[in-house]
A and B are shown apart, each in its own frame.
Chain A
């Protein structure tokens, strides 16, 4: 397939129903991830992980959602956003994997091949978004597959198909990127002054295949404002190590000479 698939997830039309979480788990046979009540608004899922590949966030914020009229004394809004693996253009997990288990597919997604993965866990520490993780009773690393099996048959991912309001849109990355930019402009024109598109292109990640339309700062959504692929530090790390080694050798030689 010659395509670059992407998600555009729009918080301003999400109704927080979590259909995406369930449809994903049902299709991909992902087990339940803990029956724990958190009290974090309606979010008992807490975070993406080996057994949670879509996670709906619930943000109760002291701010207004654009022109929304809320009969409360103080500004208030409740925002929902479905988080997912970013399938980064430059991907930390991909670069960190030593076994070739993690690969780029022909739809541009990042796939953990569960028949190759040996559970070393290097990918876990390499992801700047804290997405991929190991399943404890299994040992291997798991994350969103971008429903690669469905895409190979021309179907859309389970989460995008099921989303009642189409907050999760699926399509060609360039199209969705343009749509996201246009949507932010439209929202701003309607009075949502803090609307923005999250698609970190200026850092080493170089953009993501899962973009988000959000209101307010990305930090509130646990989205790092400036995510970096850890291997971007490799050059300076090796350089520092080389310098340090040279210094150590020099000092040792000096110790012998003097």
Chain B
């Protein structure tokens, strides 16, 4: 055991192997056993959230802990490659300025306040309901109109198809909102 301990010293190894101290004899334990940080991680298949090329991404995680995100070589669109934005997906997901709590600004207020998520949802539903009903036209000249024009929606190009579907379903088919738009034009 003592022999093992002594012969593990780099300088002893160097002498024994007639090496110059720059090779394997000088490797630390860390170097000797180096493995990638996503070793043994679970992999989820995803798609880059930036542009419309739709590069495949492999999302390495251990439970709820994100380890890294890189390209999926199996994708026939991207062949494992990512541009600088797609390559920054890990930081996109984990950076310190990500919002985790609801922020609320009262009318005329000068800063954010905290509010509980469920309470915020109640307040939003109240405002939506009030605004939509205050300005709703069921008909005009005897013809169906069923329209509200004072509550609007903006957004969609970064959202999932399922999300856009539910937005259109609730806002338009359910609440009669016609002012719906997103980044898409052409």
Chain A residues with a Cβ under 8 A of chain B: 17-19, 21-23, 26-27, 94-95, 97, 100, 102-106, 111, 113, 115-116, 148-150, 152-153, 155, 158, 161-164, 166
Residues on the B chain within 8 Å of A115, using CB: 28, 30-31
CB distance from A55 to the nearest CB of B (A): 13
Residues on the A chain within 8 Å of B39, using CB: 153
A21→B85 CA distance, assembly (Å):
11
Residues on the B chain within 8 Å of A153, using CB: 35-36, 39
A105→B10 CA distance, assembly (Å):
15
Residues of B82-96 at the interface with A, using a CB-CB cut-off of 8 Å, are 82-84, 86-88, 90-91
**Chain B contact patch, size range:** 20 to 34
B65: interface (CB < 8 Å): no
B185: interface (CB < 8 Å): no
Cβ-defined contact, B36 with A100, below 8 A: no
Greatest chain A CB density within 10 A among B23, B24, B34 is at B34
Cβ-defined contact, A103 with B83, below 8 A: no
B21: interface (CB < 8 Å): yes
B22: interface (CB < 8 Å): yes
Q: Which residue of B lies closest to A150 (CB)?
A: B36
Q: Which residue of A lies closest to B69 (CB)?
A: A26
Given that A17-B83, A95-B22, A103-B31 are known contacts, is A26 also in contact with B36, CB under 8 Å in the complex? no
| Residue from A94, A95, A152, A158 in contact with B35 in the complex, judged by beta carbons closer than 8 Å | A152
| Residue from A104, A116, A164 in contact with B83 in the complex, judged by beta carbons closer than 8 Å | A164
Query: How many A-B pairs fall under 8 Å by CB?
Result: 86
CB distance from B9 to the nearest CB of A (A): 11
CB distance from A7 to the nearest CB of B (A): 16
SS class, residues of chain A in contact with chain B: mixed
Cβ-defined contact, B28 with A116, below 8 A: yes
> What are the 10 tightest A-B residue pairs by CB atom distance, in nearest-first order?
A100-B26, A23-B87, A22-B87, A22-B84, A19-B84, A149-B36, A164-B81, A18-B84, A103-B26, A149-B34
Residues on the A chain within 8 Å of B80, using CB: 161-162
Residues on the B chain within 8 Å of A100, using CB: 10, 21-22, 26
Given that A19-B84, A158-B70 are known contacts, is A148 also in contact with B26, CB under 8 Å in the complex? no
Chain B residues with a Cβ under 8 A of chain A: 10, 21-24, 26-28, 30-31, 34-37, 39, 68-71, 73, 80-84, 86-88, 90-91
Residues on the A chain within 8 Å of B84, using CB: 17-19, 21-22
Residues on the A chain within 8 Å of B90, using CB: 26
Greatest chain B CB density within 10 A among A105, A148, A164 is at A164
Residues on the A chain within 8 Å of B24, using CB: 103, 106
Cβ-defined contact, B81 with A161, below 8 A: yes
Residues on the B chain within 8 Å of A111, using CB: 31
Residues on the A chain within 8 Å of B82, using CB: 19, 23, 162, 164
CB distance from A71 to the nearest CB of B (A): 28
Residues on the B chain within 8 Å of A106, using CB: 24
Q: Which residue of B lies closest to A18 (CB)?
A: B84
Cβ-defined contact, B70 with A19, below 8 A: no
A71→B35 CA distance, assembly (Å):
51
A94→B20 CA distance, assembly (Å):
11
Residues on the A chain within 8 Å of B87, using CB: 19, 22-23, 26, 158, 162
